[in-house]
Chain A
Amino acid sequence: VVKRAWLAAAVILLQVAAAPEPPPTATMSDSAVRVVFPEHILRRAGVRKQLASALTTTFLVTARTRDIAEAKSRIEVRFDLWDEVYLVRRIELGRVVEQRKLASMNELLQWWQTPMHVLDVRAPRATLDLRLTILPFSTAEEGDAREWLSKSGGVGTEQSPADGVVGAMIGTTIQARPIATYRWSIEAR
């Protein structure tokens, strides 16, 4: 009996472990499609580690339906080491910007649950193709690092950073490669 109990527990654990991660949920009101991303994205090891760094973790959101061309929105999260708060910035559809300071990871997770306007659809329901790309740093930080590296390599100077072949070489090498990429097809209603 004990053996069977252990076996059953193991099976349940395996099922739990193998269970698919929940997708985002999408709602529609007045043709605006709003999406809530699941928490597990922020809990992912690579993302968590990145959120703890002082770099701006960037979440690029691309949404489209069969009839509507893709729309882009973005979430940026940076942990401010001085104030020890999360500085978040959300740029929704139509370049509506929302900025906040969040004191803890819990607050961040809570804020993460607030819906984000990603697309406008003039229909009662729509199937949404959603893509989320997580980048380890922002474009501004990328540019700053490129310039610094070109100077550190002895190629450029304070007055004139590296250009030409070497500049292009460094420019195309220092690029944010995604930590993770998610794709979903979800129903919005």
Chain B
Amino acid sequence: MRRVPIFTILLIVAGATAAFYFVIHEVSRTWLGIGLRPEVREALSRSLEDQKRLRNRARFEENQRLLNRIDIVMLSREALQRRIETILATMFAASLLLAVIVWWLRQRAEEERERREFADRLSSFQQAARRHAHEIRTPLAAARLEVDRLVTLVGSGAPAQEIERASGSVFEELDRLASFTREFTSFATVGQPALRPEPLERVVAEFCATFANAWTGLELRFTAPAQETLVLIDRDLFRQVLANLCANSSHALGRQAILPVLAILPVPGDQQDRQDQFTQDQDRQDCLSSKGSMTFTIDRDGARVHLDASDTGGGIPDSIRPRIFDPYITTRRIGEGMGLGLAISRKILLDHGGDLSLAATSPAGTTFRITLRGA
């Protein structure tokens, strides 16, 4: 945005004020001229004579008072006109100046915001690049070492068992790389939801039953309300959102500090594939888990339906709270996740015409609010 020099602004204000002054000069002159026309005075004088002839003293005095007033205004006409013009022009100039100042301040604020956004974007890209490099380099380095060891073992005629263990390690590292690319791919390929009316309490109850043992130490709690709540959702994508939130809580319970979720989103495939992948990834996190719960609550608000997911984790650190839904924002260690889970979950819900928001967080736990459209 090109900044307009202050001199130009002042010139415009001065020009506009001069034009306004000219207009108001004409208007006030006309206004005063109408009231103070000599014909009016003459007519009033004649009227006075008539009233006198008619002996109508009340009307006579009324007209005389009016005549006096006109005479007085006539005597002050020039001063009055000057005063009106000056005050109106001053008020106009002040308003214009105020508007210009507000515009100028907004312009500066906008520039500042753009600068800050650019810096933030750059920072996010840097963070993402650093994370990608780490995520790839670590398993690559490990795989290379294992391959070296494998070559040595094969060359030295080591027992088949040992060779198999070494090759297993190589595959493990390659799986880790595959997992990384899968996570990355899932972020890029989140599809558009196929929305259908679904009873929310049934979807949540089924999720709790299916994933009851998915996260060690995380108990899923849900009491279905008596009344059925129909919402427009894509059941599979919606379950992914719930799974993300639960994985996040499980991790938080393990560390006693919630960390942005590890995206446990498999590439599109059948439901069994998703669950297999899900539990496989979860196994890696079991060691971090401790006792806690995730409670789901349904609340209706007009045409909107809220599903609150409240855990008993350690809360979200202040440092990442404002950007918790940004991609690659994570405090997890390398290999534990890309920090895409909440971004993906929110994207899914926005595509649903709803939203995902952080409702509350404290050392006692965190509540995420899922907002959906009622059917």
Chain A residues engaging chain B, CB cutoff 8 angstroms: 53-55, 81-82, 136-137, 141-142, 144-145, 148-149, 152-153, 165, 169-170, 172-177
Given contacts A173-B76, A177-B75, contact A54 B67 (CB under 8 A): yes
CB-CB under 8 A from A174, the residues of chain B are: 72-73, 76, 80
B80 x A170 contact (CB < 8 A)? yes
**Segment with Cβ contacts to A, from B57-65, B134-142, B158-166, B351-359:** B57-65
A152 x B35 contact (CB < 8 A)? yes
B64 x A81 contact (CB < 8 A)? yes
Identify which of B48, B69, B73 gathers the most chain A CB atoms within 10 Å of its CB: B69
Q: How far is the CB of A86 from chain B (nearest CB, A)?
A: 15
CB-CB under 8 A from A173, the residues of chain B are: 76, 79-80, 83
Write out, one digit per residue, whether chain B residues 26-60 have a CB within 8 A of any chain A CB (1) or not (0).
00000100010000000000001000100001001
B72 x A169 contact (CB < 8 A)? no
Determine whether B87 belongs to the interface, using a CB cutoff of 8 Å to chain A: yes
CB-CB under 8 A from A142, the residues of chain B are: 72
Determine whether B148 belongs to the interface, using a CB cutoff of 8 Å to chain A: no
Complex alpha-carbon distance, A144 and B76, angstroms: 14
Partner of A141, one of B35, B60, B72, B80: B72
| 7 A-B residue pairings within 8 Å (CB atoms) | A82-B61, A137-B72, A137-B75, A144-B69, A145-B69, A175-B79, A177-B75
B35 x A53 contact (CB < 8 A)? no
Complex alpha-carbon distance, A169 and B79, angstroms: 11
Write out, one digit per residue, whether chain B residues 75-88 have a CB within 8 A of any chain A CB (1) or not (0).
11001100110010
Determine whether B71 belongs to the interface, using a CB cutoff of 8 Å to chain A: yes
3 closest pairs, A vs B, by CB? A145-B72, A173-B83, A145-B69
Residue of chain A at shortest CB distance from B79: A173
Given contacts A82-B64, A144-B69, A149-B80, 8 further A-B contacts (CB under 8 A): A54-B67, A55-B72, A82-B52, A82-B61, A136-B72, A137-B72, A144-B68, A175-B76
A145 x B80 contact (CB < 8 A)? no
Residue of chain B at shortest CB distance from A172: B83
B52 x A53 contact (CB < 8 A)? no
B83 x A141 contact (CB < 8 A)? no
Write out, one digit per residue, whether chain B residues 85-126 have a CB within 8 A of any chain A CB (1) or not (0).
001000000000000000000000000000000000000000
Identify which of A141, A144, A174 gathers the most chain B CB atoms within 10 Å of its CB: A174
B71 x A55 contact (CB < 8 A)? yes
Identify which of B61, B75, B80 gathers the most chain A CB atoms within 10 Å of its CB: B75
Q: How far is the CB of B332 from chain A (nearest CB, A)?
A: 64
CB-CB under 8 A from B31, the residues of chain A are: 153
Complex alpha-carbon distance, A148 and B65, angstroms: 10
Q: How far is the CB of B63 from chain A (nearest CB, A)?
A: 10
Residue of chain A at shortest CB distance from B60: A82
